[in-house]
Amino acid sequence: MTRHHLPATPSTVHWGYFSKTLAPVLTIASQDRVVIETITHHANDDAERMITGDPAAEEIFRWTPEEKTMRRRGAGADEGPFTRGSGEGVGVHLLTGPIAIEGAEPGDVIEVRIVDAHPRPSANPAYAGRFFGSNPSANWGFQYNDLIEEPKHREVVTIYELDMTEPATVSALYSYLWTPQTDPDRIVHPTIDYPGVPVDHTTVTRKEGILSGIKVPARLHFGTMGLAPAEADFVSTIPPNYTGGNMDDWRITKGARMYYPVAVAGGLFSVGDAHASQGDSELSGTAVEISLTGEFEFILHKKADLPGTALEGLNHPLLENNEVWSVYGFSYANYLSELGPDHQNEILKRSSLDLAMRDAFRKLRRFLMTVHALSEDEAISLMSVAADFSITQVVDANWGVTGSIRKCVFDR
């Protein structure tokens, strides 16, 4: 077992897309461990706290009229003229990777164990050693068309501090209403429509004393983690899909094992979009977005070895921890192949919990029948009386319902 370190630098990150065309930034053997740095794409919501003084973050977010380090952000057009910028923000997450796992081939399964996760401290001397995150209530949030107070259709960014003193909690520092931001390329962003746009804090009004007295228990996790899909060269990071991606499940945390079906040679694993905390549904469109560094262990399960294991027939992401097995249902189990050539747009129009519930039901039934050798009738009875379905997220275009079955049900 080798232990690698993968820092976040302009040459080890990609922004807003998964791509089978990307060259791996690291190639590892099965059972290797990698310490991976991730930087949140929301760091520019308060650059002073989350970027200033951090050379890697400063380099990645550098954007002046002359220079933009990370040009492409998203799977959209990378040739102008742009509506919003290169990549057009079709996909927003800043991901570290990809990492190739030697010998991984389509049909195999890659297991990713999260060994550890800790926050990236602010490097600004004024805040040295403290941890900050951002939670925008954004235009893609569930609330956006259903606001009571004026102005309707507003976006509000709340900046949080993470206190790692046990038990770790997050508390709000201040919030501000999004105002149109002009990026260094002179494109105006009336809403949060492109990642990494520097927020000019002279144009916003801070509201202090919000959520006062409220401490949210921390749930450090990685919102986006997964492998490159085979169907297209550039795939938005927003909709989660069969190879994982933007799952936004807070259970994908220390102690969790994630299993992903391999779609391309090497698997091409990327991770980012770390969260300090999130509720089931990620209602406002984002979690408390924060930069985390994680330690991961990778185990390759070859296709031929899968029968008779929990991974037999796996064609979707699967979570295991000490308590449960969880399957992830989506509005579309593989939207890339189900929705035709315009899948990036189509999926935006077809989000539905009803479809996601249907998918979760089918996946859990398959899991119980295949892995636990239950008859269909047994599987259905067990699901009714012992499986819990929860709402993973309603903001990532391909909406999610998680179906979980407790391991203790089978242990004896």
Applying the rule CB under 8 A, the residues between 139 and 158 that interact with another protein are 139-149, 153-154, 156, 158
406 forms part of the interface with another protein (CB under 8 A): yes
214 binds another protein (CB under 8 A): yes
Q: What is the pattern of x (binds another protein, CB under 8 A) and - over residues 256-295?
A: ---------------------xxxxxxxxxxxx-------
Report how far residue 10's alpha carbon sits from residue 57's, in angstroms, rounded to the nearest whole number: 9
Shortest Cβ 233–another protein spacing (Å): 18
DSSP 8-state class, residue 199? P
Buried/exposed code over 30-67 (b: 16+ C-beta within 10 A; e: otherwise)? bebbbebbbbbbbbbbbbebbbbebebbeebbebeeee
Residue where the block lists tokens 């924060």 = 290
**Gyration radius of the chain's alpha carbons:** 21
Residue 384 binds to another protein (criterion: CB under 8 A): yes
Whether residue 300 contacts residue 104, with contact meaning beta carbons closer than 8 Å, is answered with: yes
Query: Does 400 engage in binding with another protein (CB under 8 A)?
Result: no
Which positions from 147 through 206 interact with another protein, judged by CB under 8 A? 147-149, 153-154, 156, 158, 160, 169-172, 175, 191-195
Distance CA 370, CA 70 (A): 44
Nearest-approach distance from CB 83 to another protein, in angstroms: 5
Task: Tell me the site size for another protein, rule CB under 8 A.
Answer: 103
- Within residues 101-140, the interface with another protein by CB under 8 A covers 135, 137-140
**Minimum distance from residue 197 beta carbon to another protein (Å):** 11
CB closer to another protein, 52 vs 191: 191
Residues 224-243 that bind another protein (CB under 8 A): 236, 238
Q: What are the structure tokens assigned to 162, written together? A: 């993470």
By beta-carbon proximity to another protein, the closer residue of 32 and 248 is 248
Smaller CB separation from another protein, 67 or 342: 342
- Residue closer to another protein, measured from CB, 142 or 257: 142
Closer residue to another protein, CB minimum distance, 20 or 84: 84
A 10 A CB-CB count for 349 gives 9
Terminus-to-terminus CA distance in the chain, angstroms?
33
Residue 312, Ramachandran bin (φ over 0: left; ψ between -120 and 50: alpha; else beta) = beta
Q: How far is the CB of 253 from another protein (least distance, A)?
A: 15
Closest by alpha carbon to 122, among 108, 133, 137?
A: 133
